[in-house]
Amino acid sequence: MIIMSQNKSFLLELWDFLKTRKKYWLAPIIIMLILTGIMIIIGQSTAASSFIYALF
């Protein structure tokens, strides 16, 4: 069992999980989910939404 310190951030714990268990193939999936979430949040409320909708 891996004991992680209390003060590590979520991203560092996630990276340790991927590195320890050799799950590097999950990294691109997680990155794309994060980017998609950011685009959805930005697209809902800013003037940039018209440019984001043009991408799709």
pLDDT digits (tens, 9 = 90+) for 7-56: 568 878 888 888 888 888 888 888 899 888 888 887 777 676 677 667 76
Q: Does residue 13 contact residue 7 with C-beta atoms inside 8 Å?
A: no
Query: Does position 3 have pLDDT exceeding 60, yes or no?
Result: no
* pLDDT for the residue numbered 32: 92
3-state helix, strand, coil in the chain (%, to 5): 70, 0, 30
What is the band of 1 on the pLDDT scale with cuts at 50, 70, 90?
A: very low
Of residues 43 and 6, the one with the higher pLDDT is 43
* 1, two tokens: 């069992």
Give pTM, 2 decimals: 0.56
